[in-house]
Structure 1
Amino acid sequence: MGPPSAPPCRIYVPWKEVLLTASLLTFWSPPTTAQLTVESRPFNVAEGKEVLLLAHNLPQNTLGFNWYKGERVDAKRLIVAYVIRTQQTTPGPAHSGRETVYSNASLLIQNVTHNDTGSYTLQAIKEDLVTEEATGRFWVYPELPKPYITSNNSNPVEDKDAVDFTCEPDIHSTTYLWWVNGQSLPVSPRLQLSNGNRTLTLLSVKRNDAGAYKCEIQNPVSANLSDPVILNVLYGPDVPTISPSNSNYRPGENLNLSCHAASNPTAQYSWFFNGTFQQSTQELFIPNITVNNSGSYMCQAHNSATGLNRTTVMMITVSGSAPGLSAVATVGIMIGVLARVALI
């Protein structure tokens, strides 16, 4: 009979350690190699400036690399090829003479133009001949010139004319802004923007629309402001007012009336007494008035630009005795006059 078999060996592992180990195995993964990327410095470039396409995380076993214009590898759009061991550079069909490649795989493009806008692909060739690609991109914008404003009417008539302001020149990928008397445009249904905000339309202009208008142009690399264009709104005259408002006078006083009406340009004034023209002045002066000066005084305001007339009428009454003479003084004067008559 053979020897008895040995009892099975059992190992007891606490269940908490089992759970911890399983958890670590679930969430742990081996480190990955950093991915090749391309960074554009800067991303928005002004025309005539330079941009650097900076390569990050170039594989250590890289034999060489190629730069292409566009988002994919295309031999017809090869800019430059570079062999690291020999530091040999070979220009491609898309090379313009403005590109410089560096041993760290970065690409410098100088004196950029609008046509340079777009994507650029870096292809790294490793020792096992496996390739890795990354794409970067940038935008080229023009240095903006000083804009200027054109207008169809710089002297509109209130409540009659509309005005179109246009900011020139028309530049692609440019933001247009408007300023009135140093402030941004107010919100109004009479103010309309069109043509990509290049055109500002004022419908049925008001006198409050008058002032200095400027346009500003912006892109990601520059901004510029126009000289002001002055909008001169012609209006009025409004109904004139006559001052002072006093309408009762005594004989011997001076009548001095002044007429005023809001108007642009300044109104021309005429005075009429009981319908008869008197004079073309803003003020009417009549010294030592009598009861015969009682009546209707009309002021007419005329705007030569709008062609409008407005009038207002004041009734003047001259009555009573002359100022400065009391009843006793009046009697004394009468007695003196009678005495002189008796002597004659």
Structure 2
Amino acid sequence: MQPPSACPCRGGIPWQGVLLAVSLLTFWNPHPTAQLTIEPVPSDVAEGRDVLLLVHNVSGNAVGYAWYRGQITDRTRLIVSYSNLTHSATPGPAFSGRETVYPNGSLLFVNLKKEDTGFYTLQTTTDNFDAEVATEEFCVHGLVAQPSLRATNTEPHSVAMTCLSGDPGISITWIFNSQTLQLTDRMQLSPDHRTLSIDPVRKEDAGEYQCEASNPASSTKSDRYRLAVICEWPPSHPVLLSYISTVKGHHMAPAMSMG
């Protein structure tokens, strides 16, 4: 039996012809112009660092760019404008001296401050006076200060280590022997993760502990603290001896003993 070579309706055309026609229509159908967008690199940046407002999908016949602080194209908020005709940049009222605009429309912002957090708007103009606008935001975070680690006895056979930091809005990660700490059933973290409790302490808990404080743009670790466990609980006689010491280079200063 031969495969059908035409549509079943009267006057139909071969199905290969239909596919060819569809293919040609798809090929010649123009794609819609991609929308102008801004990509902050990075989107979360530390205070004192730089951010690049990278522009995508600029029209090929763009002749000028204008960057504004905020979400509207208000002349009083103009940072800088650039002309592709004269290849020159003109600062506006909101120019701080820390911005550089490139011929492709992208804007480099250096030595950022917390108050630079917010929205930024780009307006492009073409040679036929069409305008296109895009808005994006980025966040500037303070550099995280180094935390400190304090250890205390909560019971003769347990220890609590607290990560001390005055920075708001940070997350805390615990590190054991240079690796992310894997919690056991004898370990418990406080709701804000700032305090690590071990009860009871075992010999396998001996080693170096650190806490790492971080925000979306920066992070820093405390000095290393070393926990030594001499005798487990319950021992044959009620003695648990452990100590914690700060490890800085090759110097080790005992900070606690339990017995």
The normalised TM-score by structure 1 is 0.54
- 2:185 aligned partner: 188
After superposition, the Cα gap between the structure-2 partners of 1:129 and 1:211, relative to the gap in structure 1 and judged at 3 Å, is same
User: 2-side partners of 1:237 and 1:90: how far apart?
Assistant: 73
- 2:248 aligned partner: none
Within the alignment, does 1:226 sit opposite 2:222 as a pair? yes
- 1:177 aligned partner: 173
User: 1-side partners of 2:232 and 2:14: how far apart?
Assistant: 97
Contact 1:157–1:234 under 8 Å retained in 2: no
User: 2-side partners of 1:31 and 1:58: how far apart?
Assistant: 16
By relative contact order (CA 8 Å, sep 6+), the higher-ranking structure is 2
Map 1:258-277 → 2, pairs under 5 A? 261=237, 263-264=239-240
Map 1:180-329 → 2, pairs under 5 A? 180=176, 184-188=181-185, 191-195=188-192, 197-202=193-198, 205-208=199-202, 212-229=208-225, 261=237, 263-264=239-240
User: 1-side partners of 2:18 and 2:201: how far apart?
Assistant: 82
- 1:67 aligned partner: 67
After superposition, the Cα gap between the structure-2 partners of 1:230 and 1:148, relative to the gap in structure 1 and judged at 3 Å, is same
> Which structure shows the higher strand fraction?
2
Structure 1 residues without counterparts, runs of 5 or longer: 1-11, 241-260, 267-304, 307-344
- 1:41 aligned partner: 41
Q: CA deviation at 1:76?
A: 4.1
Structure 2 residues without counterparts, runs of 5 or longer: 1-10, 243-257
After superposition, the Cα gap between the structure-2 partners of 1:189 and 1:25, relative to the gap in structure 1 and judged at 3 Å, is same
Residue type of the alignment partner of 1:95 = F
- 2:8 aligned partner: none
Q: CA RMSD in A?
A: 3.7
User: 1-side partners of 2:177 and 2:54: how far apart?
Assistant: 46
Within the alignment, does 1:130 sit opposite 2:127 as a pair? no
Contact 2:145–2:167 under 8 Å retained in 1: no
- Give the greater-gyration-radius structure (CA): 1
User: 1-side partners of 2:234 and 2:169: how far apart?
Assistant: 46
Q: CA deviation at 1:172?
A: 4.1
Residue type of the alignment partner of 1:263 = V
Q: CA deviation at 1:167?
A: 1.7
Residue type of the alignment partner of 1:119 = F
After superposition, the Cα gap between the structure-2 partners of 1:16 and 1:158, relative to the gap in structure 1 and judged at 3 Å, is same
Q: CA deviation at 1:21?
A: 5.7
User: 2-side partners of 1:207 and 1:34: how far apart?
Assistant: 61
Which aligned runs of 4 or more in structure 1 are off by greater than 6 angstroms?
232-239
Within the alignment, does 1:103 sit opposite 2:103 as a pair? yes
Q: Deviations over 1:44-88 (max 9, x none)?
A: 433222222222332233232211223443444322222332344
User: 2-side partners of 1:17 and 1:47: how far apart?
Assistant: 63
After superposition, the Cα gap between the structure-2 partners of 1:187 and 1:75, relative to the gap in structure 1 and judged at 3 Å, is farther
- 1:23 aligned partner: 22
The normalised TM-score by structure 2 is 0.68
Contact 1:158–1:234 under 8 Å retained in 2: no
- 1:158 aligned partner: 156
Q: Count the aligned residue pairs.
A: 230
The range that moved more, 60-69 or 106-115, is 60-69
After superposition, the Cα gap between the structure-2 partners of 1:69 and 1:168, relative to the gap in structure 1 and judged at 3 Å, is farther
Q: Classify the secondary structure of the residue corresponding to 2:67.
A: strand
User: 2-side partners of 1:237 and 1:167: how far apart?
Assistant: 25
User: 2-side partners of 1:59 and 1:265: how far apart?
Assistant: 72
Q: Classify the secondary structure of the residue corresponding to 1:95.
A: coil
After superposition, the Cα gap between the structure-2 partners of 1:193 and 1:185, relative to the gap in structure 1 and judged at 3 Å, is farther
